[in-house]
Amino acid sequence: MASVFFPIPTIHRSFKSSTPIPINRFSLSQPRSLLPLDSCPFRSRFHFSSTSSRFIPLASTSSDVPPDDSLHSLEEARLAVSEYLQRLGVSEEESVSIASNSPRFLKMLVDGVRELDETSMWISWSSEGERPVGDGFGFKEKVALMAREKGDNGKVAFLESAGMNLSSAMNVARYLSGEMLPSLIYKVKYMKELFFSGSGDGKFIGKSARRMMTNLSIPPDDDVQQTLSFFEKIEARRGGLDMLSSNEESFRLLLESFPRMLLLSIQSHVKPMVEFLEAIGIPKERMRGIFLSFPPIIFFGTEVLKSRIMTFEKVGIVEMEFGKLLPKYPWITSNCIQGNLKQIVSFFELEKVPNASITDAIRSWPLILGSSASKLELMVDSFDELGVRSKKLGQVIATSPQLLLQRPQEFLQVVSYLEEIGFDKESVGRILARCPEIFATSVEKTLRRKLEFLISIGVSKTHLPRAIRKYPELLVSDPDRTLFPRIRYLRQRGLSKRDIAFMVGRFSPLLGYSIEEVLKPKLDFLVNVMEKPIKEVVEYPRYFSYSLEKKITPRFRVLKERNIECNLKDMLGKNDEEFAVMFMGDKGTSEVIGARQHTNKAIQALASFGELLVSGIVSLTTREETNQAFEFLTRYVLRRV
């Protein structure tokens, strides 16, 4: 990209020179221990070409230039502001960039000088002990004096160059009156790097922020309320929350909404917090999602964060697990969510949900902590009507806790659809307990299309309820990634479309088995070792459900040793005793019964040992001793079996 140049006089007595120089970004020198200042440009209304450590903005719009000012006067005003900023400790390059990228501040100074010139009021600006301001003062000196008298020590010009409009820059500058300009420049650059560096996952961060807003049904505390206001400002802009982490406008709104962050010490407050987050397992590239989704967290400090982590330890979530939880739901560190945690846990305990299931639900979907107990109760009541309660309820919320945040009407739409295709409430409840994610899907976009797919491959409507009852996961399987590849593989092995439809109708879990781990090795064994035609699996598709090592191979060897031929159903469909009676005679039956008796004794021995531990008759003081005892007993039992 070609550089755009403004003809700006150089500062070292080269006023007569008209050679254009490029307008670069800020490059304030800092001590070695500080963040490199060329690492993060932050001009909001300019585009950059970052081919070097300097950033060259495009020219400002003509509306930024005072319409009645000569180019020479404007250049002098820029030079005056640049020299004034250098006296405040800003580098030459940095000062030129700030002066060139704060056109409204510059216009304010120029207009002020003209007004005093026209009214001859400069004499009133003379301070005690200073030379009176009069005809001896040039335009540049007057602009510099006007900048000094504003009293913001260059902050307004800098904040405008950082992307703020003039009024916002003045408001924030008043808030930061105690900050020195070089320190402020460094802080802004560090915060820009912290909040906006990293990969382009802005849409993901925006989607997460929108989800947090939508699912909050408890009164927000001050920190969350400030965050909501910040989100609303972003949402009102073009692109909305999807631009949260990638739009320069977002950084301007962030500084306007949370100017207090620029009062924080980078060395003693912000960096220790970043190090603490890394210590609990949060990589730097994921921190910006936390800070953008909940900016007030940066004010907490490490000690406050540690105390809020301890709240979750009471429900079984330790510090390192918290590091996985925080990026999912940064609001869990807020006071309102911390208080609601106790309410949610108490609610589920009253519903007799196991504590382990409650913890798993929070780990998987922490957004439920932003919901009121009364809202969760509506969904729990809907589950209860289907017979899903207590332990079954625990299984559902541990597997699909997002169901708790649904509206009851959405849930009941799925229930009604399943009833339409032939399921009673009891069957729907069993499906809910086994595959709850079905109830988080859309009837039109997902369920109806899956049934149409099953019909398209030849499964009759009368067999649909049976197929779904045996394998409800069919309704949430991806046809392109899961179902079609399995059908294609079975066709390649010689089965017809009609064969496959018949098999799915009788044993629908068939389409859930891995090709490489289940279908291929078992078909190869059937054809190559057992020397049976592949069509045998059409009559007995349940063949694929048995273990090749533990059941299919041992039974085939028994039959082969006795030169017995039988179909797959007779070979695999019987339990051990029935198989022994039919194919092994009395001796085989006795062996099977004896082995089973030994197994039962082993189970009883293990159970008795556990009871002794619980009762205190056997006392093992350490986990290592306990493990050693169990290992010894297990080896003993296995030898006997």
CA 590 to CA 596: how far, in whole Å? Answer: 10
- Over residues 460-485, mean pLDDT: 91
pLDDT range class, residue 119, cuts 50, 70, 90: confident
Using the structure block, give the residue that is written with the tokens 């289940």.
518
C-alpha to C-alpha distance for 623 and 641, rounded to whole angstroms: 27
Q: Report pTM.
A: 0.72
**pLDDT tens track for 142-159:** 899 889 988 899 999 999
- Largest alpha-carbon pair distance within the chain? 126
Q: Which region holds residue 128: left if phi is over 0, alpha if psi is between -120 and 50, else beta?
A: beta
| pLDDT for residue 503 | 95
Tell me what the mean pLDDT of segment 120-138 comes to.
62
What are φ and ψ of residue 9, in 5° steps? Answer: -60, 145
Mean pLDDT calculated for residue range 592-612: 53
Domain boundary among the residues 165, 196, 227 is at 196
Does 459 fall in a domain? no
Average the pLDDT over each of 61-75, 357-371, 429-443, 513-527 and give the range with the smallest value: 61-75
Q: Would 144 be classed as within a structural domain?
A: yes
pLDDT band at 195 (very low <50, low <70, confident <90, very high): confident
| Whether residue 85 has pLDDT greater than 90 | yes
What is the rounded distance in angstroms from the CA atom of residue 256 to the CA atom of residue 267? 23
pLDDT at 513 (0 to 100)? 95
Can you tell me the mean pLDDT for 575-592? 72
The answer to whether 458 and 497 are in contact (CB under 8 A) is yes
pLDDT at 602: 52
Q: How confident is the model at residue 558 (pLDDT cuts 50, 70, 90)?
A: very high
| Percent above pLDDT 70 for the chain | 77
To which H or E segment does residue 80 belong?
A: helix 71-87
Q: How far is CA 457 from CA 225, 299, 499, in A?
A: 53, 59, 10
Q: Which of 140, 164, 196 is at the close of a domain?
A: 196
| Whether residue 13 has pLDDT greater than 60 | no
**pLDDT-based confidence at 274, cuts 50/70/90?**
very high
Residue 637 confidence (pLDDT) above 60 = no
Q: Of 35-39, 447-451, 549-553, which gets the smallest average pLDDT? A: 35-39
Average pLDDT over residues 196-221: 85
Residue 119 located in a structural domain: yes
Q: What is the pLDDT of residue 222?
A: 96
Where does a domain end: 196, 225, 252? 196
Q: What tens digit of pLDDT does each residue of 168-177 get?
A: 999 999 999 9
- Note whether residue 495 is domain-resident: no
Given this model, what pLDDT does residue 169 score?
93
Is the model more confident about 627 or about 99? 99
pLDDT for the residue numbered 193: 87
Is pLDDT above 70 for 199? no
- Asked whether the CA dihedral 440, 444, 449, 454 is positive or negative, the reply is positive
- If DSSP codes are grouped into helix, strand and coil, which group holds residue 6? strand
Amino acid identity, position 606: L
Range with lowest mean pLDDT among 89-93, 165-169, 232-236, 631-635: 631-635
Strand pairing partners for 5? 22
Number of domains in the chain: 2
Residue 10 confidence class, pLDDT cut points 50, 70, 90: very low
**Residue 405 included in any domain:** no
Please count the CA atoms within 13 angstroms of the CA of 312 that sit on its side-chain side: 26
User: 634 or 115, which is more confident?
Assistant: 115
Say what the pLDDT of residue 250 is. 82
- Going by pLDDT thresholds of 50, 70 and 90, the confidence category of residue 34 is very low
Q: Is the pLDDT of residue 556 over 70?
A: yes
Average pLDDT, the chain: 81
Residue 317 lies in a domain: no
How far apart are alpha carbons 461 and 505 in whole angstroms?
Answer: 10
Residue 316 structure tokens? 């079984």
262 occurs within a structural domain: no
Residue 603 is assigned to a structural domain of this protein: yes
Task: Name residue 104's amino acid.
Answer: R
Check residue 241 and give its pLDDT.
86
Above 80 in pLDDT, residue 586? Answer: no
Q: Read out DSSP for 22-50?
A: E---------TTSPPTTS----SS-----
**Confidence at residue 63, expressed as pLDDT on a 0 to 100 scale:** 42
The larger pLDDT score, comparing residue 578 to residue 38, is at 578
Q: What pLDDT score was predicted for residue 52?
A: 33
- Domain span including residue 621: 591-640
Q: Which residues pair with 6 in a beta bridge?
A: 21
Q: Is the pLDDT of residue 87 over 70?
A: yes
Q: Is residue 209 pLDDT above 80, yes or no?
A: yes
